[in-house]
Amino acid sequence: MSAGDTMAAHGATRRGLFDKALLLHLAVLAVLFGLQFVIGEYQHLSLARVMVLATYAVGYNILFGYTGLLSLGHAMFFAAGLYGAGIGASQFGLGVQESFIAGVFSGLVLSTVIGLIALRTTGVAFMIVTMMFAQACYLLTLYFGEYTRGDEGIVLKGDIRQMVMFGYPFDLTSPVVRYNIAFGLLAVCVLICLALVRSPTGRVLVAIRENEERAGMLGYDTFRTKLFALVVSGTMSAAAGAAYALLFAYVGASFASIQYSILPLLWVLLGGIGTVLGPVVGTLLMFYLVDYASEYTSAYMLVVGVALLILVVWFPKGLLGTLRERVIAWLP
- Pick the closer one to another protein by CB: 40 or 200: 200
Q: What are the residues binding another protein (CB under 8 A)?
A: 2-8, 10-11, 15, 199-200, 203-204, 206-207, 210-211, 213-222
Under DSSP, the state recorded for 250 is E
In the complex, the smallest distance separating the C-beta of residue 194 from another protein, rounded to whole angstroms, is: 16
- Helices 259-271, 318-326: inter-axial angle, 10-degree rounding: 20
Q: What is the CA radius of gyration of the chain?
A: 20
- Pick the closer one to another protein by CB: 10 or 295: 10
In the complex, the smallest distance separating the C-beta of residue 168 from another protein, rounded to whole angstroms, is: 36
Identify how many contiguous H helices and E strands the chain contains and give both numbers.
Answer: 15, 4
In the complex, the smallest distance separating the C-beta of residue 269 from another protein, rounded to whole angstroms, is: 18
- Pick the closer one to another protein by CB: 28 or 206: 206
Under DSSP, the state recorded for 161 is G
In the complex, the smallest distance separating the C-beta of residue 122 from another protein, rounded to whole angstroms, is: 16
In the complex, the smallest distance separating the C-beta of residue 203 from another protein, rounded to whole angstroms, is: 6
**CA 157/CA 251 separation, integer angstroms:** 12
- Pick the closer one to another protein by CB: 211 or 297: 211
- Pick the closer one to another protein by CB: 207 or 293: 207
Give the count of beta carbons closer than 10 Å to the beta carbon of residue 38: 7
**CA 120/CA 126 separation, integer angstroms:** 8
**CA 92/CA 206 separation, integer angstroms:** 41
Which amino acid is located at 157 in the chain?
K
At residue 125, the 3 state secondary structure works out as: helix
- Pick the closer one to another protein by CB: 2 or 298: 2
- Pick the closer one to another protein by CB: 68 or 282: 68
Contact in structure between 22 and 207 (CB atoms under 8 Å): no
In the complex, the smallest distance separating the C-beta of residue 70 from another protein, rounded to whole angstroms, is: 17
**Cα–Cα–Cα angle for 306, 308, 314, rounded to 5 degrees:** 100
Residues 6+ apart with CB under 8 A from 213: none
- Pick the closer one to another protein by CB: 161 or 324: 324
In the complex, the smallest distance separating the C-beta of residue 15 from another protein, rounded to whole angstroms, is: 8
**CA 224/CA 240 separation, integer angstroms:** 24
In the complex, the smallest distance separating the C-beta of residue 11 from another protein, rounded to whole angstroms, is: 6
Choose among 183, 209, 212: nearest CA to 280: 183
Q: What are phi and psi of 194, to 5 degrees?
A: -60, -45
Q: What's the gap between Cα 71 and its chain centre?
A: 13
